[in-house]
């Protein structure tokens, strides 16, 4: 009995636990999940400072048209002096500490400067244009949760706390094995019926894009001996991904040999299209994904099953892409009984997300994958959708470039 899409995904995530952690430098941490909570090392900002280039004043002295004596100048990085005496203004730059007596800053644009005096042009309120100590964060405040992805904002915050290293989860080493007698590697001499092993490359690319470490371990031929040797090697990694050899063909031995190698089978068929012959298994700590061989099916099943698993292994809190609603621009027919992943072009029309098929949905058509910037996840129980209906999609890389027919 095939497993439903939802159950398959749950079974996978239930079997995944995050790997160990390591400390790496800030830039090596980018894109990875942080493994520890981060607390503010002190108040942020550390001192009251000016948010504008202008004049530090006493708000009570200021009315439109009033002239104040310029009694000093504080550049960024300068000391907070002299104090602002009544009737005076201290010229101040953005980020400079505000001096005693100052309770507002008037930006240059709202003043008229003369040699020793400044005229205030508008109304001034207490606290105007001052960034107060601790208004962003107070010392000890918890600001980043474990499992958060480290992006430029997290890097900025860690750097501002003076932290050059951070604990992150280890990257899984992912063995990638293609199977098939027809396959040749790029650049190898090939007969008319040969097929270039492109799956190892797209899988390695997808693994790399997630921040995990791909290791291409070659091609296993469609015989027990070759499969035994290559699968045994692949089981030494954190994750083993195989492609092809799992459908109903008479040379599809992958599952059989995995059983022989004492790999625990968790599921081996899913009610989805494309990608029905997808299998998930485990031996010890190693997860095994056996994906179908058809390149489009391989990429879609990676996206739907392997991606969340790798992200969870790498400690990420957010492992599933959010499903968002989009309006179909054309009717769609499908078979009921399976979830269908439709490759779509997502566009915005009058601010609303709309989708259309990105081309021929036959799984042999790689071109349609190249043109897709989204996947519509069409539910198993339906067989027809009308134009104008809303369906769930998730996005793929938005840099996908539609090409002309």
Residues that bind ligand AMP (CB under 6 A): 178, 180, 182-183, 195, 197-200, 243-245, 247, 249, 292-295
How many C-beta neighbours within 10 Å does residue 153 have? Answer: 10
**Rounded to 5, what percent of the chain is helix, strand, coil?**
20, 35, 45
64 binds, among ligand AMP, Mg ion, none (CB under 5 to 8 A by kind): none
d(CA 394, CA 325): 9
CA dist., res. 267 & res. 2, Å (int): 8
Residue 361 Cβ, how far from ligand AMP at the closest point, in Å? 17
Least distance (Å) between residue 239 CB and ligand AMP: 17
Q: Which does 295 bind (CB under 5 to 8 A by kind): ligand AMP, Mg ion, none?
A: ligand AMP
Q: What is the total count of residues that contact Mg ion (CB under 5 A)?
A: 3
Q: Which is nearer to Mg ion, 207 or 244 (CB)?
A: 244
User: Is the Cβ of residue 21 or residue 198 nearer to ligand AMP in the bound state?
Assistant: 198
Least distance in angstroms from the C-beta of 180 to Mg ion: 4
Left if phi > 0, otherwise alpha if psi is -120 to 50, otherwise beta: which for 226? alpha
CA distance to 23, 138, 225, per residue, from 230 (Å) = 33, 55, 9
Shortest Å distance, C-beta 293 to Mg ion: 5
Q: Which helix (H) or strand (E) holds 227?
A: helix 224-234
**Buried b / exposed e along 270-295 (16+ C-beta atoms within 10 A):** bbbbbbbbbbbbeeeebbbbbbbbbb
Q: CB-wise, 294 or 340, nearer to ligand AMP?
A: 294
227 vs 235, beta carbon nearer Mg ion: 227
**Torsions phi, psi for 16 (to 5 deg):** -105, 130
Closer by beta carbon to Mg ion, 55 or else 253: 253
Q: Which residues of 355-368 are buried (b: 16+ CB within 10 A; e: fewer)?
A: bbbbbebebebeeb
CA distances from 79 to 52, 109, 118, 197 (A): 17, 24, 22, 66
State the nearest-atom distance from the C-beta of 265 to Mg ion, in Å: 19
Please tell me what DSSP assigns to residue 203.
Answer: H
Whether 32 contacts 154, CB under 8 Å: no
Which C-beta is closer to Mg ion: that of 111 or that of 242?
242
Q: How far is it, in rounded angstroms, from Cα 374 to Cα 386?
A: 19
Least distance (Å) between residue 378 CB and ligand AMP: 23
In the bound state, the residue with its beta carbon closest to Mg ion is 180
- Which of the residues 272 through 291 are near Mg ion (CB under 5 A)? none
Count of C-beta atoms within a 10 Å radius of residue 78: 15
Output the CA–CA distances (angstroms, integers) from residue 117 to 74, 123, 214, in the order listed: 16, 18, 67
- The residue (of 154 and 222) whose beta carbon lies closer to Mg ion is 222
Out of 97, 180, 234, 308, point to the residue binding Mg ion (CB under 5 A).
Answer: 180
Phi, psi torsion values for 312, nearest 5 degrees: -65, -40
Name the segment binding Mg ion (CB under 5 A); options: 26-34, 86-94, 176-184, 230-238.
176-184
For residue 376, the minimal CB distance to ligand AMP (Å) is: 23
Please enumerate in sequence order all residues whose Cβ is within 8 A of that of 162, keeping only pairs 6 or more positions apart, or say none. Answer: 41
Residue 206 Cβ vs ligand AMP, minimum distance, rounded to whole Å: 14
The one of Mg ion, ligand AMP, none whose footprint includes residue 294, by CB under 5 to 8 A per kind, is ligand AMP
Return the one option of Mg ion, ligand AMP, none that residue 111 interacts with (CB less than 5 to 8 A, by type): none
Distance of closest approach, residue 34 Cβ to ligand AMP, in angstroms: 35
| For Mg ion, the closer CB: 211 or 292 | 292
Residue 198 or residue 265: which is nearer to ligand AMP going by CB? 198
Choose from ligand AMP, Mg ion, none: what does 50 bind? Cβ within 5-8 Å by kind. Answer: none
Residue with structure tokens 């009058």?
350
Q: Which does 261 bind (CB under 5 to 8 A by kind): Mg ion, ligand AMP, none?
A: none
**For Mg ion, what does the binding mask look like between residues 241 and 270, x meaning CB under 5 A?**
---xx-------------------------
* Interacting residues with Mg ion (CB under 5 A): 180, 244-245
């Amino acid at each position: 009995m095939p497993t439903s899409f939802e159950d398959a995904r749950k079974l996978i995530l239930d079997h995944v636990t995050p790997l160990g952690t390591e400390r790496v430098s800030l830039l090596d941490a980018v894109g990875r999940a942080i493994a520890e909570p981060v607390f503010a090392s002190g108040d942020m900002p550390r001192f009251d400072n000016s948010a504008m280039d202008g004049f530090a004043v006493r708000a009570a002295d200021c009315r439109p048209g009033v002239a104040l004596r310029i009694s000093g100048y504080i550049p960024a990085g300068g000391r907070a002096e002299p104090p602002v005496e009544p009737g005076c203004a201290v010229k101040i730059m953005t980020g400079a500490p505000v001096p005693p007596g100052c309770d507002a800053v008037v930006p240059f644009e709202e003043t008229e400067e003369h040699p020793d005096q400044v005229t205030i042009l508008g109304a001034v309120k207490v606290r105007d244009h001052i960034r107060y100590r601790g208004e962003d964060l107070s010392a000890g405040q918890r600001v980043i949760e474990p499992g958060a992805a480290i992006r430029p904002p997290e890097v900025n915050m860690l750097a501002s706390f003076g932290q050059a290293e951070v604990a992150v989860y280890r990257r899984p080493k992912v063995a990638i094995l293609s199977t098939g007698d027809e396959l040749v590697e790029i650049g190898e001499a090939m007969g008319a019926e040969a097929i270039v092993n492109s799956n190892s490359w797209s899988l390695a690319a997808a693994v790399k894009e997630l921040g995990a470490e791909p290791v291409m371990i070659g091609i296993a031929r469609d015989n027990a001996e070759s499969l035994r040797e290559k699968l045994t090697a692949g089981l030494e990694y954190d994750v083993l991904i195989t492609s092809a050899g799992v459908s109903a063909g008479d040379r599809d031995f992958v599952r059989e040999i995995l059983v022989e190698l004492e790999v625990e089978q968790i599921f081996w068929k899913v009610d989805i299209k494309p990608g029905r012959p997808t299998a998930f298994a485990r031996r010890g700590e190693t997860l095994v994904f056996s994906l179908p061989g058809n390149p489009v099916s391989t990429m879609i099943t990676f996206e739907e099953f392997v991606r969340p698993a790798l992200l969870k292994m790498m400690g990420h809190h957010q492992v599933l892409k959010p499903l968002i609603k989009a309006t179909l621009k054309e009717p769609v027919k499908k078979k009921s009984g399976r979830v269908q992943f439709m490759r779509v072009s997502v566009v915005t029309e009058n601010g609303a997300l709309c989708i259309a098929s990105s081309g021929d949905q036959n799984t042999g058509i790689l071109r349609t994958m190249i043109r897709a910037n989204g996947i519509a996840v069409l539910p198993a129980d339906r067989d027809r959708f009308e134009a104008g209906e809303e369906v769930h999609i998730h996005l793929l890389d938005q840099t996908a470039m539609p090409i002309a027919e």
